[in-house]
């Protein structure tokens, strides 16, 4: 499996298995098969996905099988927004480690650049429908993230859903630089400027929802005629074209699936490449459209 080098010299496999919305009842078996049979070495998890315990069962089986060592796997998780206070960061990380049955994470991300009130609900919403925020600066949270590296609980730290101004600010005080910014990327939201900025700052970028996410939106990049035509020309599927397009942009990409044939399909992208003309054609179908916008959940215009 191809890897990219992080700014701390560690390697990250370019393709990982996404687990957002992976059904608890299925995910254990799915992860076990993806790693042991299909060759996945990178798992993208988060405490808010509510399935880390089930993934931990799979990880325990995989590692005790003796077929794969811990060092061959790359496991990411994410700090939820209610846990940003420095007193809560290490307990949250330890809970994730216990759920995943691991002694360390390869990568721990601040899931969103916004602190929610701690201790009520995972998404505490006020009477007007807006999320309740807490007065905790990212600087305080980041310093607590840095101490997780010092303690050996995590190998690398990074962020998710960060915009350029958030990264500029973070870099002004970070003693440990974020290695990754994980953001929504697919041809309808190609994020060129943010990716260019992150790469200039030596921060790798992970594409989440690379297939246009789940949900029943009709107009998905998987159904785009440009993508479909290129897929036909290579005798590949539209999903494989979207994954290949991300890899050729020097991105890390984490398609989610719990379907065994799609999981294999999504990792089978190393035997072809897209030409410059094909890359350019896909680059042109951008329309800055997000499938994941927290305005719908938290009533807050996070990306505005
Ligand atoms: P499923 O889990 O049933 O396979 P994203 O990674 O952008 O969040 O997209 C995930 C969505 O895309 C899920 O609904 C997933 O469904 C579906 N999906 C995953 N792989 C493929 C594929 N190869 N072809 C079509 N749809 C896919």
Percent of the chain clearing pLDDT 70 (strictly above)? 99
Q: Is 259 in the pocket of ligand 1 (CB under 6 A)?
A: yes
pLDDT digits (tens, 9 = 90+) for 245-293: 999 999 999 999 999 999 999 999 999 999 999 999 999 999 999 999 9
Nearest CA residue ID for atom 13, ligand 1: 214
Span from the CA of 263 to the centroid of ligand 1 (angstroms): 9
- Rounded to the nearest angstrom, the distance between the alpha carbon of 153 and the centre of ligand 1 is 31
Tens of pLDDT, residue by residue over 27-45, are 999 999 999 999 999 999 9
Banded pLDDT at 120 (limits 50, 70, 90): confident
Bridge partners (DSSP) of residue 158 are: 109
Tokens standing for residue 41: 């070495």
For 198-223, write each residue's pLDDT tens digit. Answer: 999 999 999 999 999 986 677 899 99
Give, to the nearest 10 degrees, the angle between helix 52-64 and helix 24-36: 30
- Out of 40, 49, 108, 188, pick the active-site residue: 49
Distance CA 176, CA 171 (A): 9
Q: 103: which 2 tokens?
A: 């002694």
Does the CB atom of residue 206 touch ligand 1 within 6 A?
A: no
pLDDT computed for residue 216 by the predictor: 66
Q: How far is the CA of 211 from the centre of ligand 1 (A)?
A: 6
| pLDDT, the chain, mean | 97
Residue 43 has a pLDDT of 98
Write the pLDDT tens digit of every residue in 153-162: 999 999 999 9
Q: What is the DSSP letter of 210?
A: T
- What is the four-CA torsion angle of 147, 153, 111, 106, rounded to 10 degrees? 120
Residue 173 pLDDT level (bands cut at 50, 70, 90): very high
The closest residue, in CA terms, to atom 24 on ligand 1 is 239
The predicted model scores a pTM of 0.98
Residue 40 a catalytic site member = no
Own/partner contacts of 85-88, CB < 8 Å, gap of 24 or more, are 85/115, 85/118, 85/134, 85/136, 85/140, 85/141, 86/136, 86/140, 86/141, 86/143, 86/144, 88/118
285 token code pair: 């179908």
pLDDT, mean of residues 56-63 = 98
For residues 103-127, give the mean pLDDT.
Answer: 97
Check residue 1 and give its pLDDT: 87
Query: What is the structure's pLDDT at 93?
Result: 98
pLDDT-above-90 percentage for the chain: 97
């Amino acid at each position: 499996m191809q890897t990219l080098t992080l700014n701390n010299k560690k390697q990250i496999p370019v393709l990982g298995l996404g687990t957002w919305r992976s059904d608890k009842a299925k995910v254990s078996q799915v992860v076990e098969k993806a790693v042991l049979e299909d060759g996945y070495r990178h798992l993208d998890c988060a405490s808010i996905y509510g399935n880390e315990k089930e993934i931990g069962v799979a990880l325990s089986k995989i590692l005790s099988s003796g077929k794969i060592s811990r060092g061959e796997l790359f496991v990411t998780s994410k700090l939820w927004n209610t846990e940003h206070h420095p007193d809560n960061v290490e307990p949250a990380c330890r809970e994730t480690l216990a759920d995943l049955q691991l002694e360390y994470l390869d990568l721990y991300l601040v899931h969103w650049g916004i602190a929610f009130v701690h201790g009520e609900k995972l998404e505490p919403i006020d009477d007007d429908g807006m999320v309740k925020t807490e007065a905790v600066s990212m600087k305080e949270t980041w310093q607590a993230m840095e101490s997780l590296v010092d303690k050996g609980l995590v190998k690398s730290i990074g962020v998710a859903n960060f915009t350029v101004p958030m990264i500029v600010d973070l870099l002004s005080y970070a003693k440990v630089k974020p290695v990754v910014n994980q953001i929504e990327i697919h041809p309808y939201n190609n994020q060129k400027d943010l990716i260019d900025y992150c790469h200039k700052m030596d921060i790798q970028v992970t594409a989440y929802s690379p297939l246009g996410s789940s949900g029943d939106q009709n107009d998905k990049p998987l159904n785009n005629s440009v993508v479909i035509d290129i897929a036909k020309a290579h005798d590949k599927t539209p999903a494989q074209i979207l994954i290949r397009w991300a890899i050729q942009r020097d991105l890390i990409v984490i398609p989610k699936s719990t379907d065994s044939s799609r999981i294999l399909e999504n990792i089978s992208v190393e035997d072809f490449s897209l030409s410059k003309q094909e890359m350019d054609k896909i680059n042109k179908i951008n329309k800055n459209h997000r499938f994941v916008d927290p305005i719908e959940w938290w009533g807050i215009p996070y990306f505005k």
